[in-house]
Amino acid sequence: MFSRLSEDLAAINAEYRGLVGCPLCLRPFAEEAIDLEPPELTEEHIIPGELGGKITTLTCQHCNNTHGSAIDAHLIQMLRSRDSIEGLSDRPFRGRIEVGGMTVPTDIDWKASVGKLTTFALRRFKPAVHEAIRGHMTSGNVKTINVTLSFDFIPGRADIALLRIAYLAMFREYGYRYTLSPAASVIREIINSFQKCPPEMGQLVGQVRSEPERFGKRLQLLKIQGGVAIMVVMPLVTETTRYYAAFMPSPELPPESVIAILCNAAKSVTRRPPSETQCP
């Protein structure tokens, strides 16, 4: 993989012969970076391994680790939360329960969505509070119980994780000619500035809800509007398989137009039959 990427980069700029650039931060690395302890250049799953990913590429350790905890973890938790809400998983939610003005942390095994009994297991807290809640419940005077679920993910970070998967998929398919283009730099900036999610983020990514099974079990890149945008469709596997899509710009697009064109391409997909998307 290093040899292939190195040759691809050298074909664009001979000064980088024998080097590979991290597609996310563009820092160059020699092959020895793979064998350092810890390695500075790492093999990374384009779709996180926790979500069924098997295809890999090379990224630097800093981007791999930072994005793994700050971005990918939110996508993984979002999908696991959906599994729990839909009754597909026995993984409990963390949350809080309030009874009679007393609040304690609890694990919530949510089964209401499938018509089964939802259970609450109070986590270790102050014994006196547990005893007071027990007494309040057995008194027969409890009229309301307030429950707060903690999903433990930030939706905007989960969206950026989807965009990151699509960006790495484009890198794997088209190499440095894509990632070094001004158009791709717009997407890279969104990924690396994950602390602030752009307002258009919700239009750039989304779940495929119409006939998702037609996409099979692999990453697919589909041309939209004659190729000005590429829709990257990704199967994400937890207790079930869900399909998400993210829109990537053609490398020829001027950077100032990327977001507007991608938003327009995304809108066009919702108005078109599936047969109108084309493989590049």
- Chain length of the chain: 280
Residues 67 and 122 in one domain: no
Residues 130 and 243 in one domain: no
Residues 167 and 271 in one domain: yes
Q: In 3D, which of 211, 204, 256 has the Cα closest to residue 230?
A: 204
Supply the pTM of this predicted model: 0.89
Where a domain ends, among 116, 150, 184?
150
Residues 205 and 251 in one domain: yes
Query: How many angstroms separate the CA atoms of 84 and 98, rounded?
Result: 21
- Residue 102's domain comprises 86-150
Residues 268 and 181 in one domain: yes
CB 150 within 8 A of CB 103: no
Residues 185 and 237 in one domain: yes
Residues 269 and 237 in one domain: yes
pLDDT computed for residue 142 by the predictor:
87
Grouped pLDDT means (10 residues each) for the chain, 280 residues: 97 96 97 96 97 96 97 97 89 89 90 82 88 88 88 94 98 97 98 94 91 83 94 96 96 97 90 40
Query: How many angstroms separate the CA atoms of 188 and 184, rounded?
Result: 6
pLDDT computed for residue 279 by the predictor:
31
Residues 183 and 248 in one domain: yes
The helix (H) or strand (E) run that includes residue 182 is: helix 182-192
Where a domain ends, among 150, 165, 180?
150
Residues 159 and 246 in one domain: yes
Residues 200 and 221 in one domain: yes
pLDDT computed for residue 274 by the predictor:
41
Residues 105 and 173 in one domain: no
Domain count for the chain: 2
pLDDT computed for residue 176 by the predictor:
97
pLDDT computed for residue 115 by the predictor:
81
Where a domain ends, among 150, 167, 186?
150
Residues 185 and 242 in one domain: yes
pLDDT computed for residue 218 by the predictor:
87
pLDDT computed for residue 117 by the predictor:
86
